[in-house]
Structure 1
Amino acid sequence: MATELFLILDPHATAGGEREPLTDTSDVVWVPDPATAATIAADGARSEVRLIELYGGFGFAGARQVIHAVDGLAPVGVAGHLAPPRGSFAILIEDDTADPTTDRLVRRHPDGTRTSIIRVPRAAMAELAAAELADGAVRVELCGGTDLVTAADVADRVGLDADIALVTWPFESLSGAAAYAASFA
């Protein structure tokens, strides 16, 4: 069972969501709407999930649904976009042991767009973000484990006009996210 859930809005996902393993401890779940995400997140938080991140334009109202459903059992972070991307996008997950050429999931959508989830070492994150944008991504979202210095390096590399977001942790999730991070120290 995964201890981390990455919930990604995808209007083409099946009603109950579609789960894929990302690592031994992380699952990606494609969800058609925030209500489905809230159900999956709550079920996970009642079992072994200890961290939840929301991607793909949940917005405040969608994030609120998930946070209420989880009811403090796990921290919930959200990429800072209020609307879904209007085209292909990439999610970069910092992992210094990863090979970004093979450690990735790519989901192709019926409208011709794609969502790429790529595990990438910190030192390569800025270059990979630039490559994804050059390859047609309209947005890059950085996982909640990415530090602000690395996020700034990405912004410096791709320019301020690029659509870049870093998962943030609302106040009610800070202590849980910190405890989760400390478990790896």
Structure 2
Amino acid sequence: MIEDELSIRPGGPADAPAVAALHAESWRTAYAGIVPPAVLGDGLAAQRAELWELRLEADYGEPAAQPVLLLAESGDGDLLGFGYLVPQPDGRVLLDNLHVRPGRTGAGLGGALLGALRAETARSHPGAPLYLEVLADNHRAIAFYERAGGHRTDSRTTHFPGAGELPEYEYTWTQP
């Protein structure tokens, strides 16, 4: 069940530390057993912090190229999840991150956040397909994306820093 006080709002540079911390926490849970433990070790939090600071302070130029960060928060302002949309030159929109705080999954938060991200894509990029890339061994995420109506549209190999080449899938949602 979705929390009664759940709110979804746009994020910005001030949210980078909280997003980075949740991102690292989520990776440690989702990728355990998929990537080497060293990738998920002590340096992960600092690496994610640097990434989110750069992403959220960058100038992407025209508004159509601007990525969008959406945050899902509890009524008391705790960050429960986030998603990050990145418009692509091919006319699609990449859902570059979708994370729900470990221990809070299975209650509808991911579905609510994905719904908001799809609505934002439809609003800001009418007709653009939304897609994401997921490691092929991330079975829990794949099951969620398939339940949420995503269609596998590609499979390939990706280079995952510190883990080498790993198989991944692409999932796509089209707009009505």
TM-score, normalized by the shorter chain, greater than 0.5? no
Q: TM-score, normalised by structure 2?
A: 0.29
